Each structure stands twice: as C-alpha cells, then as structure tokens.
Amino acid sequence: YTKIYDFGQRRARALLKFFYGSVGVDSGSSKLLYIMHRALVYNFRDLLEKFKPDYVFCSHFSPGYFSALYKNDYHYKIGIVVTDYYVHPHWVNNEIDHYFIPHESLTEQILSYGVSKNKVFPYGIPVALELEHEINKDAAQKRFGLSKTRISAVVMGSKVFGGEWFEIVREIVDFDYDLLVLCGENKEVMERIKKLKGKARLVVSSICKFYCWA
C-alpha cells in the first residue's frame, strides 16, 4: 500500500484525489474497497489469531477495512481515529463501532457518509504524549523566532493535496504576522512556498523539524 501511495503522490496525484474523493462517496462504505482490501489482507488473520483482540483500534482507513472483513469471525469492536482535518468517505465502513475525529466541526461531514451520530467522538488527534502537557510559550517563541507582540498563524498540508494549500499560503502571505507553514514530506511544495514574498515573516519546514524542537 505504501509503495502504491508514494507512487501515486509522485506520478498520479489526480488519480489519488479522485480515489479519495469519489469512490464510495454515496454511502461512505464502498464495495470496491472491501474487494481491494480482501486482496491485500495478507496475514491479518494470523495477527487476530495471535492476539485475540476485544477491540481493534485503527489510525488509517485500510486497517478499518481489514478489521471489517473478519469482525463477524472474531466478534471484536472496531474504533478508528481520523487523522485528517478533512474526512474523505473511505474512513467510513459499515462495521466500525466508534469514530474519533479531530474536531466537532467535522461531525456533519462524517454523518453525511451514513455514520450514526452516537458513534462519533470529537476527541482530537493523538499525536504525542508530550503534547498532553502545556508547552512553554516563551521557549516556543524563541525556538521559531516568533514575535511576542504579533499574531502567529500555522498552515499544515499533506504530500498529496499540495496545490490547494499552496494557494492558501499565497493568498495570506501578504499579511503582517508570523506565518508558519508545515509541509510534511511535500518537498516540492515546500520549495515553492519558500519563494513566496509578502509582509509575513514566513517560516517553512518539514514535520520533523517542527515537532522535534521539544
């Protein structure tokens, strides 16, 4: 899956966007995805035999589908934590018991794919235990060279949908504030953003450089 995804984001982004935005959009549970995941499931049943889980907790939609294929055989419950601030329809399938979403503003979006509201929990994205504690504001400002008197804004993007959030940054770079842009592994867009000029003090980096300061 990783090799296919990486190839797609390098050579066929339009196809990935179509896949994430269109397949199964009516119900949020695509028969095609069940078929595809059955073909890719490999040794998932072996893992189930080994661990005999009561609950399968997934941080990606593919394990959600793998788990769905065997739910009736092993009688566990399935929870899925949505790790995007956009819920594409493939996060949803008929066998998932609980959906943990990043923010309550995404509730209506996930409900539109056929999910019952009593299954949705807007608990945020679990990133790291360090973030459970309050971050020292002075240390963070010093680390990134942020002003104590100006507004700071953060834009985060992904390696597939770089075009969309590049346009967002281009639109807002001419405001007078500190603008931090987190590009993840999208080096192509990161280099394009670094070349933007405006009133903002622009700080552009990968996910590792931003996160590892702590």
pLDDT of residue 107: 97
Section 48-52 average pLDDT: 97
The residue from 121, 152, 178 where one domain ends is 121
In the structure encoding, which two tokens stand for residue 203, read together?
A: 């700080």
| Higher pLDDT pick, 156 / 81 | 81
The CA distances from residue 58 to 9, 63, 142, 150, 189, in Å, are 23, 6, 36, 39, 29
Please provide the DSSP assignment of 177-188 as one string. SEEEEE-TT-HH
- What pLDDT sits at residue 161? 55
126 belongs to a structural domain: no
Task: For residues 117 and 138, state if they share a domain.
Answer: no
Residue 25 lies in a domain: yes
127 assigned to some structural domain: no
Q: Give yes or no: residues 146 and 114 share one domain.
A: no
What pTM did the predictor assign? 0.74
Q: Which of 98, 121, 144 is the last residue of a domain?
A: 121
Token readout for 142 is 């010093």
Same domain, 29 and 92: yes
Query: Do 83 and 146 fall within a single domain?
Result: no
Owning domain of residue 152: 133-211
Q: What are 56-60's contacts with CB under 8 Å, separation 24+?
A: 57/81, 59/83
Both 98 and 150 in one domain: the answer is no
Domain closes at, from 121, 148, 165: 121
pLDDT band at 9 (very low <50, low <70, confident <90, very high): low
Count how many domains the chain has. Answer: 2
How would residue 52 be classed by pLDDT, with cut points 50, 70 and 90?
A: very high
**Low-confidence winner among 7-21, 38-52, 155-169 (lowest mean pLDDT):** 7-21
Listed in sequence order, the DSSP H helices in the chain are 2-11, 13-22, 31-40, 44-51, 61-74, 107-111, 137-144, 162-172, 187-194, 207-211
90 within domain boundaries: yes
111 assigned to some structural domain: yes
Q: What percent of the chain has pLDDT over 70?
A: 80
Q: What is the predicted pLDDT for the residue at 166?
A: 84
Q: How far is CA 173 from CA 49, 58, 152, in A?
A: 53, 36, 12
Query: Higher confidence at residue 46 or residue 86?
Result: 46
pLDDT in tens, 28-47: 677 888 888 888 888 899 99
What pLDDT shows up at residue 211?
47
